[in-house]
Amino acid sequence: MFHRPVLAALALIAHGAAAQTASAPAATTTAAPRAVETTPTTRFYEPGDKTLRRLPADTVASGTAVATAADPLATAAGQTLLAAGGSAADAALAMMIALTAVEPQSSGLGGGGFLVWYDGKSGKTITLDGRERAPAAATATRFLRPDGTPMSFPEAVPGGYSVGVPGAVALIAEAHKRWGKRPWAELFAPAIAHARNGFPVSPRLNRFTASRRDMLARSPAAAAIFLDAKGQPWPIGHILKQPELAHSLQTIAREGPDGFYKGPIGAAITSAVATAFQNPAALTAEDLAGAAATERAPLCRPYRQWTLCTMGPPSAGGIATLQVLKQLERFDLRRLGPDNLLSWHLIAESQRLAFADREAFGADADFAAVPVKGLLDPRYIRARSNLIRIDRAMPDVTAGTPAGTRPRTAQRLADVPATSHMAAADGAGNVANLTCTIEGPFGSGLVAAGIVLNNELTDFDLNPIKDGGDSLNRVQPGKRPRSSMAPTIIYDRRGRAIAAFGAAGGSTIIAQVAKSMIAFLDWQMPVEQAIAAPQLFADRRGVRLEDGTRLVDMAAGLKALGHNNVAPGTLPLKGNAVARSGTGWRAAADPRSEGVALAIGTPNK
């Protein structure tokens, strides 16, 4: 039986199916495949039918334990584990696995992720790095053409060159070993049921499939799953069954992580990459055998009276998110408020500074000298913050020079918004905050044993030379590419976790998480309103204001302050969060997404 929020979300999908049927054009003969397009159009991110634009109150749930994800069926998987006595880790991992079936365009076992864990008993925070690694055959020249020039992003994404060694299953195994309470196989049961029995194609899945139709059509294994006999995306409401995925999930549930990295599934991954429709490459059994999740020290800094802990390298998202907030700390955002033009001007300026540093210094600290301490050093933050004026925008923004570094410049802006975030909290006070991804929509376009394979290696700099030397984020064997993911937990003065935020959407993740925490902490909004608050995104390309929100009315004011290229736009927004509420928890999903929050138990006020 589905719970009421899940049924409501599925009803919206059914409504979308009816609308699509009523307006669908007559079928036409499939044209010859065009060049693969890996840069989504603006339309790709529009929410579609207005009935899908929900109120914040439609996405929230409170209880003694909570779960939230970007898909209602995935959230229900988390709730099922909580109801069975599982921990927050069990719930988050079950949601991550379920997304392999019900949100295959954005995340799943063919990718990787980052987990920030708070232990309610010990008060400790631990972060696990399950980011994909470059296989041994991937060297600095991976994305160079025969003439030595770097490939374009659309050239590099499809096929074998972009596939990294998946880290998701290793992350699930490590987190379950440490904090899981329910049997391993139980984590997979909801996903197996959805893959075997099918689920209704959602408006988001339909749109993602349409945007990647040409790439999927060139990949026989992907086309067999996600396109109909005429090569078109399955319509909204179609019951999508994935029997091969169900079999693979059963294998992993039975055999553990070796069932993924070894045996038939591992061989299928190696074969899919080697025989790719474009850019065939080597990803060997030895590469897969070396997959592991690594414990990293959490990256923690104070913000006003709170403490924020997030993911460090290879994620550059955590550093940038902390920079955005720390650079704003000297301004009284609470007094200015969420309806004040100057609040959003300041947020835009701080984002611009943080993104400049991210592009210059983001990399895997196991391979490159990433100046984490320098980028967050109070003196450096103060110097960067002092560049922000409340009455005027900076004419230009470049990366800073933290202590011990030489000047560096940005190389490219090529993040493709996809990814998924989920969070859970349980009655013991534990919090699991997890972001996972296959990078771009449908990753590399390759499918192995029913599992979509990532294109994470295009998060490396395609040109290995930067500023006259080696790029910090160049491809190297065994290296993890830079990421924007920024799962973050907030703590009170006693060191107790009071909230957790995360988001999906490429580089907008940083802006989303920072905005939501400002809204929650400075503007004292409930968690669901903090996520739903309008979004601004600013980097060296200009300022984007979330279309259809009050921020669009501030465009003229921002231009008057000196901001350039200010325009409304449809942003890929998809956040999730949990927060303490009385003796229990309150969880929310982004009303712009298809996600919901679900709970068990009734907390005391």
Q: What is the secondary structure of 522-544 as a DSSP string?
A: TS---HHHHHHS--EEEETTEEE
User: What per-residue confidence (pLDDT) applies to 602?
Assistant: 85
Residue 314, preceding bond cis, omega within 30 degrees?
yes
The structure's pTM equals: 0.92
Cβ-Cβ contacts under 8 Å for 127 (sequence gap 6 or more): 114, 115, 116, 117, 295, 296, 297, 298, 299, 309, 310, 311, 312
Structure tokens at 506: 């490429």
Rg (CA), the chain: 22
- Catalytic residue list: 419
Q: Which two tokens stand for residue 365?
A: 């600290």
The total of other beta-carbon atoms located within 10 Å of residue 494's CB is 7
Question: What distance lies between CA 13 and its chain's CA centroid?
Answer: 23
Q: What is the total residue count of the chain?
A: 605
- Looking only at the bridges linking them, the beta strands covering 542-546 and 566-569 are parallel
Cα(410)–Cα(442) distance, integer angstroms: 27
Look at phi and psi of residue 332 and say left if phi exceeds 0, alpha if psi is from -120 to 50, else beta.
beta
Tokens representing residue 397 in the block? 């923004």
Homologous superfamily in CATH for domain 56-198+241-605: Gamma-glutamyltranspeptidase, small (S) subunit (3.60.20.40)
Look at phi and psi of residue 544 and say left if phi exceeds 0, alpha if psi is from -120 to 50, else beta. beta
DSSP tag of 39: S
Residue with tokens 């449809």: 570
Distance, C-alpha 525 to centroid of its chain:
23
Q: What is the DSSP string of 336-391?
A: H-TT-HHHHHHHHHHHHHHHHHHHHH-S-TTTS---HHHHH-HHHHHHHHTT-BTT
**Nearest residue to 179 via CA among 97, 113, 130, 124:** 124
Count Cβ atoms below 10 Å from residue 239 Cβ, excluding itself.
10
Distances (CA, A) of 271 to 216, 293, 444: 17, 24, 14
DSSP single-letter state for residue 499: E
The packing angle between helices 168-179 and 184-197, to 10°, is: 140
Phi/psi region, residue 86 (left: phi>0; alpha: psi -120 to 50; beta: rest), is beta
CB 487 within 8 A of CB 115: yes
CA distance 463 to 359: 13
How many CB atoms are closer than 10 A to CB 514?
Answer: 26
**How far are the Cα atoms of 11, 132, 135, 176, 445 from residue 282, in angstroms, in the given order?**
44, 15, 8, 30, 16
**β strands within 119-189, DSSP E:** 125-130
CB 489 within 8 A of CB 117: no
Q: Is 210 exposed, middle or buried (0-12, 13-18, 19+ CB in 10 A)?
A: middle
Mean pLDDT for each 10-residue chunk of the chain (605 residues)? 50 42 31 28 35 80 97 97 98 98 96 98 98 97 96 95 98 98 98 98 95 97 98 97 98 98 98 98 98 97 98 97 98 98 98 96 95 97 98 95 80 67 98 96 97 97 86 96 96 97 94 98 98 96 95 98 95 95 95 96 75
Among candidate residues 294, 201, 190, 203, the one with its CA nearest the CA of residue 250: 190
Report whether 574 contacts 595 (CB < 8 A).
Answer: yes
* Alpha carbon distance 579, 490 (integer Å): 9
Contact indicator for 55, 581 with CB cutoff of 8 Å: no
Ordered alpha helix ranges (H), 198-316: 203-211, 213-217, 220-226, 243-255, 258-261, 263-274, 285-289
Across 86-162, the runs of DSSP E, i.e. the strands, are: 112-118, 125-130
Q: Which residue is it, tokens 């991976």?
A: 142
